[in-house]
């Protein structure tokens, strides 16, 4: 890039992050939740884009791929003088193996 004498040109390269995905001023990330925590509900600690921790309530009955939004935890929009949102996509972690005891409990509860 070449400008007029006295111009100051800055080129900024933004790298992708393995934990966050940007869409405009909003941020998206994955929130792994165990099946039992999704069924019963729990409060979990999540990291925001700015490195701070925030506690999020996982409500009883939370479903796979459900979106939980943290208002104002996205990218700052200088034109509007406000922050975008941080959206957490819940991913249910399933057990690798189901024991006979677990199988019996599930059958008892859901049949």
Task: Give pairs for 62-65: CB < 8 Å, separation 24+.
Answer: 62/33, 62/38, 62/90, 63/38, 63/90, 63/92, 64/38, 64/90, 64/91, 64/92, 65/89, 65/90, 65/91
Q: Is residue 110 one of the residues assigned to a domain? A: no
pLDDT (mean) for 30-39? 94
Is 10 inside any structural domain?
A: no
Reply yes or no on whether the pLDDT at 3 is more than 70.
no
Task: Give domain status of residue 52, yes or no.
Answer: yes
70 domain-assigned? yes
Whether the model clears a pTM of 0.95, i.e. scores above it, the answer is no
Q: For strand 82-83 and strand 76-77, is the pairing parallel, antiparallel, or unpaired? A: antiparallel
The count of structural domains within the chain is: 1
Q: Is residue 36 part of a domain?
A: yes
pLDDT at 6 over 80: no
**What local confidence, expressed as pLDDT, does residue 74 receive?**
95
Q: What are the pLDDT digits (tens) for 59-89?
A: 999 999 999 999 999 999 999 999 999 999 9
Q: What is the pLDDT of residue 47?
A: 92
Q: pLDDT tier at 101 (50, 70, 90 boundaries)?
A: very high
Is residue 81 in a domain?
yes
**CATH number, residue 88:** 2.60.260.20
14 domain residue, yes or no: no
What's the mean per-residue pLDDT of the chain? 91
pLDDT number for residue 95: 87
Q: Tell me the percentage of the chain whose pLDDT exceeds 70.
A: 96
Domain hosting residue 75, numbered range: 21-96
């Amino acid at each position: 890039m070449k400008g007029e004498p006295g111009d100051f040109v800055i080129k900024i390269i933004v790298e992708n992050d393995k934990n966050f995905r940007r869409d405009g001023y909003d941020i998206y990330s994955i929130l792994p939740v165990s099946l039992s925590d999704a069924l019963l509900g729990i409060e979990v600690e999540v990291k925001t884009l700015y490195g701070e921790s925030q506690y999020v309530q996982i409500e009883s009955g939370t479903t796979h791929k459900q979106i939980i939004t943290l208002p104002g935890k996205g990218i700052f929009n200088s034109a509007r003088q406000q922050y975008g949102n941080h959206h957490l996509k819940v991913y249910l972690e399933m057990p690798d193996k189901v024991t006979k005891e677990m199988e019996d409990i599930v059958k008892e509860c859901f049949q």
